[in-house]
Amino acid sequence: MQLGLVGLGKMGGNMRERLRRSGHEVVGYDRNKQVSDASSLADMVKRLDAPRVVWVMVPHGAPTRDTVTALGDLLDKGDLVIDGGNSKWTDDVENEALLKDKGVGYVDCGVSGGIWGLENGYGLMAGGTKANVRKAMPIFDALRPEGPREEGFVHAGKVGAGHYTKMVHNGIEYGLMAAYAEGYELLVKKDIVDDVPGAFKAWSRGTVVRSWLLDLMVAALEDNPTLDDVSDYTSDSGEGRWTVEEAIELAVPMPVISASLFARFASRQETSPTMQAVAALRGGFGGHQVMTVAEGEKLRAEARSGVRSADAATKKAARKEKAPTKKTAAKKAAKAAKAGPASPGRSGSTRTRAAKKG
């Protein structure tokens, strides 16, 4: 079968190779002339026989929308466009509408497998009409892992269902990665555990937590047992956010996936405004000394040397957060008095009204 493939990056390039190994003819287009088969989108379309199938593998958002729009002007009635990128499912509805008036079909397909898909195959989640999905089935069969079709491919539903399913898949992935990562830190912090990489490897067979993600963790630890010089800054590609947004929209409790997403946000903060506010509040109601940034960094540095030092740093921090002197306490009291009483309807006044009702 012939296929036009737009976007020949890490995944797109490997997908082209896997399809060719299966005997399909792939005409690829990429802005990078060194990897592109065609000189332009128009040249790629011209080299395909009708009815054409074109797979789009570019970044989500404007790049995908612009590519779909351009293809709409180049393709003919009966042709088919497949978006295999990480588009938001709501974009699929709009992309389908762009092509529908021109008689061009549209299928969205969530793709999982990363750089390993070339050898292992890709997990595929498609959305669209039965007729359009059937038209592209030889391509799906070549890309998915070997074995039963239903163990590597699903026609999840109407347009948008493929990317929606992939979005949920990635949300689950966030939670799984966070759980492995938290377990890693706990093992590292315990002084009786000498072989953390070995502990993870021992989980690889026969345990309920075995998975491909665990295998990747084992490989990472074998290569770098203490994760030296690995930054904790973690980005997100969008699907985790969309998953949490959908959970809110549909009132689905999702504490694990939500927490894993927020942990990624925390990893990007050199200083946490949230915890700065907590420190200031503790100083306000409990008289705990509010440390400077330099003092906090010094304690962090002391804690990095090990759990015993971490305990010592915690005790040291507690000593720093000593009770205020009489002079400091008097100053705080005067400041509070100047601010005036609490607003009506708050604190004790609320409890008084509740007591009267009782």
Active site residues: 166, 173
Closest CA to 317 of 337, 343, 292: 292
Closest CA to 132 of 105, 158, 152: 105
Bond from prior residue into 324 cis (ω within 30 degrees of 0): no
| Sign of the CA dihedral with 224 first, then 227, 229, and 235 last | positive
Burial 255-290 (b: 16+ CB within 10 A, else e): eebbebbebbeeeeeeeeeeeeeebeeebeeeebbe
Which own/partner pairs from 49-52 qualify as long-range (CB within 8 Å, at least 24 positions apart)? 49/2, 50/76, 50/78, 50/79, 51/76, 51/78, 51/79, 51/80, 51/135, 52/2, 52/4, 52/76, 52/79, 52/80
CA 288, distance to chain mean position in Å, is 38
Which tokens belong to 238?
A: 């969008």
One-letter identity of residue 72 = G
**Dihedral (C-alpha) 255, 260, 264, 269: value to the nearest 10 degrees?**
50
Mention every residue, 6+ apart, whose C-beta is less than 8 A from residue 37.
26, 27, 28, 29, 44
Spatial separation of the C-alpha atoms in residues 214 and 121, rounded to whole Å:
19
One-letter identity of residue 227 = L
One-letter identity of residue 269 = Q
Helical (H) or strand (E) element with 55:
strand 53-56
- How many helices, marked H, and strands, marked E, lie in the chain? 17, 7
